[in-house]
Amino acid sequence: MSGWYAAAPLIVAMTTAAATTLAHAMPRTQRALSLAGAFALLAASIALMDAVWRGGMIVVQSSNWDAPFGITLAVDTFGAVMTLIAAITGAACLIFAIPEIEERHRRAWFHPLSHVLLLGVCGAFITGDLFNLYVWFEVMLIASFGLMTIGGTKAQTDGAVKYVALNLVATLLFLLAVGLIYGMTGTLNYADLSRTIPNVGNTGVLTASAMLLMAAFGMKAAVFPLFFWLPAAYHTPLVSVSAVFAGLLTKVGVYALMRAFTLLFTHDVGWTHEILLWVSGLTMITGVLGAAAQSEMRRILSWHIISQIGYMVMGLALYTPLAIVGSVFYLVHHIIVKANLFLIAGVAARLTGSMELKKIGGLYQSAPLLGVLFFIPAFSLAGFPPLSGFWAKLILVRAALEGREWWIAAAALVTGLLTIYSMTKIWGEAFWKPHPEGGEAAAPLAAAPAAMLAPIVTLAAMTIVIGLFAQPFWIVAERAAAEMLDPTVYAAAVLGGLP
Amino acid sequence: MEVPLALLIGLLTGVATWLMLSRNLIRLLLGFAVLGNAVNLLIFTAGRLTRDVPPLVPLDAEAIEGAFANPLPQALVLTAIVIGFGLLAFALVLAWQAYVRLGTIRTDEMREAEPPGEVKP
């Protein structure tokens, strides 16, 4: 029976996508269905989290074809946490989208595409099979292509070309690695792979496939030096679309990296994880420096996504229990904060008329409350206590110090410092300085629709709650990390008593 | 059979890499199509090439006797072909849109999203 918990998020998202497609000619019905679907997905993922927390890992063998032959769904604590956070982000961004999207955006299939995107994201978190991960990635990717081009401005077309081109390459690298791994092991089931990979004699080809997967997932996660598609594209689509992208899409890449390099490829940690460590440090530094050179709100925030990805990969690369806890904690904190910052940038642009920092100002005078709402995620991103980002960074830096990796700890701290620089730049330019001469003054907060503010307030409240009551989140992250570091538990849950 | 196919995969990958390094968007997409075929052949070859009976259980039997062809790589390749086809179709339409809206298919001339020569703060 518990299998239904794992399948429910997928069934809900797929049903909603189909229902919103059928209701395309009825705008009000389609919107209602879309919102209902988003909340149903949230409910399903809460139920899944609850079931996994109480009863341990949930495994579904579809049509009773036992692993490794059938299609396996397998959800451990990490997968359940990620599904839950994806559903939260999806619901927040869809509520924000109600006042934002116009009829022409709706006609470009905004609602069905959004739910297909959530379907792909949840599927990637729930699947227990490498080839199915590829399929879910593609579901997510094709929906994201559609969402990215809704609106059809010149900048969007340009950004989409780069986004599509690099993601196509990543896709093929992934598939190439899948082919090689299948050739060596004869299986693509995660659990089966985790048992067969240590017995593969040809470690050279094994490491080569691991590197291909690292490149493919790294490109999706936007790590150094494969991130160029992200700052080219993420500032161009609708605000609600870019918020859901910023929150979720790169994190699916991080999730896949963490799965691959805890469950599958731990045969040569000294080599693979050392590369990851260097990559993470360079990602942090280049991301934050790239952000310092920008003067458009969403472009600054896009570069910060890259820099923050570095922290998550750093936890994986250190590969100690504490570091993995840090990565999981960071993922949860980051998705909420980053989606919220994009939403706030959207409201700020709506009140002032632009995302370009030079053209705007005076927000603190006209909408002081928005300043407070910006302050919370911005300083959480930079790692100020007692907000959620502080704990996330604290755990990771402590793990680095315990592992005697001094330079990565230093890189993490310097990146935090430079993050403050970018956040104070947005604060100083958009909120503090008076509105530039010639333009209309910034509108008061009351001019922003309540449906835009509600998700922002909710996400900001979650940031504060994670910061003030970090203990329960720590416990969840600790259990997720413990499960990840012991692949035999995962394998036993999926394969049962099979040899 | 494995060796000629491996060489063919290598050749296709080389051609695809060369095409994808071009600044012309259409060449890049052609490269993607060729690389997709190389990868599909690789999955097919990785599943071992045999001359065995199809994996079908005869009507009057409970199981197949003797060696049979591995059906899984074919299923994987079929899925990959369909997905690759969908992605390529979207990418071609996008290239057309880029040509209509931006007036170019050269990637180094597409500077709308990240305009050059911006004043740094």
Q: Using a CB–CB cutoff of 8 Å, tell me whether A140 touches chain B.
A: no
Partner B contacted by A152 (CB < 8 A): yes
How far does the CA of residue B113 sit from the closest CA of chain A (Å)?
Answer: 4
Residue A326 lies in a domain: yes
Q: Are A460 and A376 in contact (CB under 8 A)?
A: yes
The chain B residue lying nearest A69, using CA atoms, is B72
> What are phi and psi for residue A47, nearest 5 degrees?
-60, -40
**Residue A75 CB burial class (10 angstroms; 0-12, 13-18, ≥19):** buried
In-domain check, residue B20: yes
| Long-range contacts, A381-386 (Cβ 8 Å, 24+) | A381/A304, A381/A308, A381/A334, A381/A337, A381/A338, A381/A341, A381/A419, A381/A423, A382/A416, A382/A419, A382/A420, A382/A423, A383/A416, A383/A419, A385/A467, A386/A467, A386/A468
Task: State the DSSP code for A356.
Answer: B
Q: What is the mean pLDDT of each run of 10 residues along chain A (499 residues)?
A: 85 95 92 95 95 89 79 92 95 92 89 95 93 94 92 87 91 92 89 87 86 93 89 90 92 93 85 91 93 88 92 92 93 93 91 83 83 90 86 92 90 91 87 75 79 92 91 92 89 74
Nearest CA-CA partner of A402 in A482, A341, A328, A315: A315
Longest pairwise C-alpha distance within chain B: 79
Contacts of A172 in chain B (CB under 8 A): 32, 35-36, 39
Does A248 fall in a domain? no
B120: pLDDT strictly greater than 70: no
Query: Is the CB of residue A236 less than 8 Å away from at least one CB of chain B?
Result: yes
* Chain A CB within 8 Å of residue B68 CB: no
Distance of alpha carbon A294 from alpha carbon A283, whole angstroms? 17
Torsions phi, psi of A129, nearest 5? -150, 135
Tokens of A406: 């001094």
Per-residue pLDDT, B56:
83
Per DSSP, B65 falls in state -
Residue B43 lies in a domain: yes
How much is the pLDDT for A79? Answer: 94
Indicate whether B38 belongs to any domain: yes
A182 CA to chain B: closest CA distance, Å?
Answer: 7
Chain A contact set for B81 (CB, 8 A): none
Task: Inform me whether the C-beta atom of residue A164 falls under 8 Å from chain B C-beta atoms.
Answer: yes
Flag whether A34 is in a domain.
Answer: no
* A261 within a domain of the structure (yes/no): no
Top pLDDT among B121 and A16 is at A16
Consecutive H or E run containing A73: strand A72-75
* CA A214/CA A170 separation, integer angstroms: 10
**Domain-located, residue A16:** no
The phi and psi torsions of A406 (rounded to 5 degrees) equal -65, -40
**Inter-residue contact A110 to A51 (CB < 8 Å):** no
* Short-list A290, A282, A170, CA closest to A224: A282
Q: Name the strand (E) or helix (H) holding A300.
A: helix A297-318
Contact A295 B121 (CB under 8 A): yes
Boundaries of domain holding B6: 2-51+69-106
Rg (CA), chain B: 21
- What does the block give as tokens for A300? 């600054």
Chain A residues close to B24, C-beta within 8 Å: none
With contact defined as beta carbons under 8 Å apart, do A156 and A162 qualify?
A: no
pLDDT of residue A313: 93
Question: Which candidate from B83, B87, B113 shows the least CB-CB separation from A159?
Answer: B113
Nearest-by-Cβ selection for B87 from A159, A168, A182 = A168
Residue A243 forms part of a structural domain: no
Structural domain of A316:
268-488
Instruction: Report whether A49 contacts A80 (CB < 8 A).
Output: yes
Interface test with A, best of B13, B48, B76, B81 (most A CBs within 10 A): B76
| Cβ-defined contact of B83 to A145 (cutoff 8 Å) | no
Across the interface, whether the CB atoms of A158 and B102 are under 8 A apart is answered yes
- CB neighbours (10 Å) of residue A35? 18
A159 vs B contacts (CB less than 8 Å) = 112-113
Whether chain A has a CB inside 8 Å of the CB on B92: the answer is no
- The verdict on residue A155 lying in a domain is no
Cα radius of gyration (chain A): 22
* A321 touching B (Cβ < 8 Å): no
Contact B94 A149 (CB under 8 A): yes
Here the CATH number for the domain that contains residue B90 is 1.10.287.3510
> Does the CB of B93 have a partner CB in chain A at under 8 Å?
no
B17 touching chain A per CB within 8 A: no
Q: Does residue B111 lie in a domain region? A: no
The token pair at A474 is 């720590």
Is pLDDT at B63 greater than 90 in this prediction? Answer: no
Domain assignment of residue A53, yes or no: no
Give the Cα separation of A149 and A236 in Å (integer): 9
- Listed residue (A60, A121, A133) closest to A90, CA to CA: A121
- How many domains does one find in chain B? 1
| Cα–Cα distance for residue pair A143/A147, rounded to 1 Å | 6
Contact A141 B87 (CB under 8 A): yes
Assess contact for A16 and A33: CB atoms under 8 A: yes
Averaged over B20-48, what is the pLDDT? 92
DSSP annotation string for A212-240:
HHHHHHHHHHT-TTS-THHHHHTTSS-HH
**What pLDDT score does A440 carry?**
67
pLDDT at A358: 82
N residues, chain B: 121
Residues of A in contact with B87 (CB under 8 A): 138, 141-142, 168, 171
Tokens at residue A30, please?
């389609």
| Mean pLDDT calculated for residue range B67-71 | 82
For chain A, give the longest Cα–Cα distance: 75
Two tokens, residue A399 = 């793990």
Closest CA relative to residue B91, chosen from A459, A356, A341, A161: A161
Q: Are the C-beta atoms of residues B98 and B105 closer than 8 Å to each other?
A: yes
Q: Is B32 on the interface with A (CB under 8 A)?
A: yes
CA distances from A118 to A41, A90, A283 (A): 9, 7, 27
Query: Distance between CA A137 and CA A67 in Å, rounded?
Result: 21
Asked if residues A95 and A32 have their Cβ atoms less than 8 Å apart, the reply is no
B112 with A158: Cβ contact below 8 A: yes
The domain total for chain A is 1
- Which residues of chain B does A182 touch, with a Cβ-Cβ cutoff of 8 Å? 43, 46-47, 72-73, 76
Given CB atoms, is B37 within the 8 Å cutoff of chain A? no
Read off the pTM: 0.93
Looking at this protein, which amino acid is placed at residue B20? M
Find the residue in A nearest to B74 (Cα): A179
Q: Give the residue among A411, A409, A413 at the shortest CA–CA distance from A401.
A: A409
Residues 70-89 of B with CB under 8 A from A: 72-73, 76, 79-80, 83, 86-87
**pLDDT score at B121:** 45
Tokens at residue A444, please?
């008061």
The ipTM is 0.91
**Residue A59: helix, strand or coil by DSSP?**
strand
